[in-house]
A and B are shown apart, each in its own frame.
Chain A
Amino acid sequence: MPYAGALKVLIVDDQNSVRQMTRLSLEEFGVRNVYDSGDGASALKFAGSQPLDLIISDYNMPEMDGLALLRAVRAHPVVRRLPFILLTGRGDKELVIKAAQAGANNYLVKPFTAAALREKIEQVVGKLQ
């Protein structure tokens, strides 16, 4: 059972306000090690250099979108098994299918509540302590 306080989460979103809101939600249920990144490329670089337990990435980003980041993570020699949750817009089933095929561990529709975020994280990494 992972301990929320020890969980290391990377948030990837090009919108600072969304990153910070996600960070607040995570902090609400005790996740203290939260990193964030504004684009896929630096997120990938960061994930390769730091131990992480989870990536929560938006889909809609310029240059490298969330799906491309997911694929790059899954192709990465070191972090390829890193749990990955993709944030999507409402009703984009096609994208969710693509994400599942690319190896996402779950998805979450924006906007979300802290409770919904926690639920998704628990589905992926197990019940949080």
Chain B
Amino acid sequence: MTTIDDLRTTFFDECDELLVDLESNLARMEEGDADVINAVFRAVHSIKGGAGIFGYDGLVAFSHSFETVLDLMRQGALESSSAAVATLLTASDMLSDLVSSARSGAATESEGRAQCQTALERLAAGSGAGDAPHTSGSGAESFDDIAFTPVQSDHFESTERHTIIFRPAEHAFQEGRDPLEALRALGQIGEVEIAADLDGLPALPDLVVDQLHIGWRVVLETAAARDEVERVLEGLPFASIAFPDEPLPSSFSVDDKPEPGDPAPGPAPTEPPAKAGEDERANEPRGRDATQRSTARIDLEKIDRVVNIVGELVIAQAMLGQIAQGLPDESRGQIAQVLDEVLHHTRELKDSVMAMRAQPLRTVFQKMPRLVRELSLKTGKKVRLETVGEGTEVDRTIIERLSDPLTHIIRNSIDHGIESPEARIAAGKDGEGVVTLSAIHRGGRIVIEVRDDGRGIDRDKVLARARERGLAPANAALSEEEVNNLIFAPGFSTAATVSDISGRGVGMDVVRSNIQDLGGRIALHSQPGAGMTIQLALPLTLAVMDGMMVRAGEDVYVLPISAIVECLRPQRSDVHALIGTRGMLRLRGELVPLVYLAELLSAASEARELSQGVVIITESSQSGRLGLVVDDLLGHQQVVIKNIEDSYGVIPGIAAATILGDGKVAFILDADKLADLAAAGFSPVRGAASAGVFSALSH
């Protein structure tokens, strides 16, 4: 049973879609295209209408002011200048905020809202056309002076309307039967309206003159009861007569209904020609995008439940595989065959469920044109945004967390990368800079690139700044790549004055850690004078992860593959003792601190010997490279991520848990936090303050 609360949810879902439409159309407003203005108006109007029905007065009042301005633009009384569009964009943000606060039940009154509404009202007043102030909650108005057409028939009182569909047999003429007989007979008991159904009419060459190809649909308005009508028809030589008057099984949506052999009348000659086209359009998908046609809204929780069950299934199946290993050979062969099949199906099931959670990146990409527009206005630079692959799908949890990093990267590109038009022309480039945002699936990951054709990274400037900030030693000889990567260092900013564009509180270091939190990697390529590309490689989902199973002491851990740079068995001679550390590994000229995983997580107390172990080089944003020493590598496996924070709280160095094939629980390591733990123990700078943490862990 549908309740009002369900409908509220539906309404807010619609609002989300409308707001996305609004946003993308607003960005095209200045072109002054009537269709665009209409679409913008409609979106706001629909939000207002729904808000009224569900009693969100604040939302109604605000969208009313918004709508008034749009209405004036629609009528041509107000020009959609860039200043006006800027106000509308702010209003669209405010509308979006109001929708979210209505959804969460928070208070909707704020100073920003009042200001924005005043700005809208001023805009409307400026057009001179004026608008009656909105009075919410006033009683239904009535236009008594307007005369409406009274209902022309009184069939609610005394007559009944029957719809009768004739489909005479094709050979009716050959048997000397005349369908007109039936139509006349009906005409005698009431008023009839007849429309021919020409759907069965063949093309002219296929027409057989003595065959009846057409049918009729008759609407009969009569005082006679249904059985009387049937009696009239009984005497007629037509078998195929249907009364579709029976109420349809239950209430339903027209749009859900399967096509019932299409009993709709063909276009009759009296109809205006435009109608035929509209009739045909009914068969087409409604939206602009055919892929939107048959969709169902499913509560995310339900999908998540299926994801969890699939996870359990993967585990159960791995356990089954292990049990099968222990069976005698003859039965194992048979079971292995079936298991293979189960494996195949589980994988498909997993992929299908993950695909359900996937969404196109469009929702994130659509926010960017507006950002670029605002930035180019603010900076006075001319910038064009090109997007490629916005239909690429990725898990929605990732989409939700991509918006901020992408926004920042684009800000950064425009603020620091793209030059002013004059500088560009002087450098022999087009005055208009191009920022390209692209997405592609590659090797089970999604790769998103932000590319600009600006000046690229000014390495000297970056290096000077890094030295000034103490981020790079004054005498270190850094490679080009290392210099480029300095922009990801915490506390780095090359702009002499922090502009209000890039300086919104986050630096590229935050971008990098956001991406790493998602199990992704960020890479940067810069070509001085020609531009810069920032590439993000992200997993397609956060529910299943590629992990390396490692053994440390008695325990098995899983390390995310994305955190691993390389694995090696070092020579004894490559390890250098250094006081306060468990050794430094010389790796291609660079010293990497070694950390014994078993000691770090106090999994074993006896001292480890490096000669038996494997070193996994990991990289983290804060502490750089770390050599994690484990006892053995057990192999690469996809693991289902199980959250443990809810049950056990935060465990340092542990991100989550998973269940292995033998039913044992293994912890998934958090490479960044491990590095922090290690740093707390080893770093000569920070070690003193927090050495206690490390010793507590290692003993």
Interface residues of A (CB under 8 A from B): 1-2, 6, 8, 10, 14-21, 23-24, 32-46, 48-51, 53, 58, 60-64, 72, 75-78, 81, 83, 89-91, 93, 96-97, 100, 103-107, 109-112, 116, 124-126
Contact = CB atoms under 8 A, between A and B. Distances in A.
Contact of A20 (B10, B52, B150, B286): B10
B455 interface: no
A40 B48 CA distance: 21
B254 A1 contact: no
B254 A37 contact: yes
A49 to B, nearest CB: 4
A72 B10 contact: no
A61 B278 CA distance: 14
Contacts of B257: 46
Interface string B264-281: 110010111001001101
B251 A15 contact: no
Contacts of A8: 247
B611 interface: no
Interface stretch (B156-164, B405-413, B437-445, B622-630): B156-164
A58 B42 CA distance: 12
Nearest to B46: A15
B190 interface: no
A53 B244 contact: no
Contacts of A103: 149
A19 B11 CA distance: 10
A76 B271 contact: yes
A21 B148 CA distance: 26
B501 interface: no
A106 to B, nearest CB: 5
Contact of A24 (B4, B161, B244): B4
Contacts of A77: 193, 195, 265, 268, 270-271
Q: Which has the most chain A C-beta neighbours within 10 Å: B42, B140, B157? A: B140
Nearest to A58: B49
B156 A126 contact: yes
B209 interface: no
Contacts, number: 173
B109 to A, nearest CB: 21
14 contacts: A15-B11, A15-B46, A21-B7, A36-B253, A37-B255, A40-B278, A41-B279, A63-B281, A75-B272, A83-B151, A97-B143, A97-B146, A112-B140, A125-B151
Nearest to B280: A41
Contacts of A96: 143, 146
Given A10-B254, A90-B141, A105-B149, A16 B10 contact: yes
A126 B157 contact: yes
Nearest to B243: A51
A78 B218 CA distance: 8
9 closest pairs, A vs B, by CB? A111-B52, A17-B11, A37-B254, A2-B156, A45-B282, A111-B53, A41-B282, A42-B282, A17-B10
Contact of A15 (B50, B132, B140, B193): B50
Contacts of B48: 89
Interface residues of B, number: 65
A53 B156 contact: yes
B46 A41 contact: no
B59 to A, nearest CB: 12
A127 to B, nearest CB: 10
Given A76-B271, A125-B151, A18 B53 contact: yes
Interface of B: 2, 4, 7-8, 10-11, 14, 39, 42, 45-46, 48-50, 52-55, 132, 134, 140-141, 143, 146-153, 156-157, 161-163, 193, 195, 217, 219, 244-245, 247-248, 251-255, 257, 260, 262-265, 268, 270-272, 275, 278-279, 281-282, 286
Contacts of B143: 93, 96-97, 107
Nearest to B67: A89
B53 A110 contact: yes
A60 B43 CA distance: 10
A89 B63 CA distance: 12
Contact of A35 (B14, B163, B248, B270): B248
A75 B275 contact: yes
A35 B265 contact: no
B65 to A, nearest CB: 13
A42 B254 contact: yes
A20 B7 contact: yes
A103 B162 CA distance: 23
A126 B154 CA distance: 9
Given A15-B11, A100-B148, A111-B53, 17 more contacts: A17-B8, A17-B11, A35-B253, A36-B253, A39-B286, A41-B281, A44-B279, A48-B265, A49-B244, A50-B244, A50-B248, A51-B163, A77-B270, A77-B271, A90-B134, A100-B149, A125-B151
B655 to A, nearest CB: 40
A21 B53 contact: yes
A42 B244 contact: no
Q: Which has the most chain B C-beta neighbours within 10 Å: A17, A41, A42, A100? A: A17
A1 to B, nearest CB: 7
Contacts of A91: 132, 141
A67 to B, nearest CB: 14
A53 B247 CA distance: 12
Contact of A43 (B195, B254, B275): B254
Given A15-B46, A37-B255, A89-B49, A49 B264 contact: yes
A45 B14 CA distance: 25
A33 B247 contact: yes
Nearest to B161: A51
Contacts of A43: 254
Contact of A105 (B10, B148, B157, B278): B148
Contacts of B264: 45, 48-49
Contacts of B52: 110-111
Contacts of B245: 51
A43 B253 CA distance: 10
B132 to A, nearest CB: 6
Contacts of B253: 19, 35-38
B66 to A, nearest CB: 13
A11 B79 CA distance: 36
Given A17-B50, A77-B195, A109-B140, A35 B251 contact: yes
A46 B254 CA distance: 7
A20 B253 CA distance: 10
A62 B195 contact: no
B649 to A, nearest CB: 40
A83 to B, nearest CB: 5
Given A14-B46, A18-B50, A48-B265, A78 B282 contact: no
A100 B281 CA distance: 27
Nearest to A14: B46
A60 B56 CA distance: 20
B251 A34 contact: yes
A17 B616 CA distance: 55
Contacts of A38: 253-255, 286
A75 to B, nearest CB: 6
Contacts of B281: 41, 63
A35 B193 CA distance: 23
Contacts of B49: 15, 18, 58, 60, 89, 110-111
B14 to A, nearest CB: 6
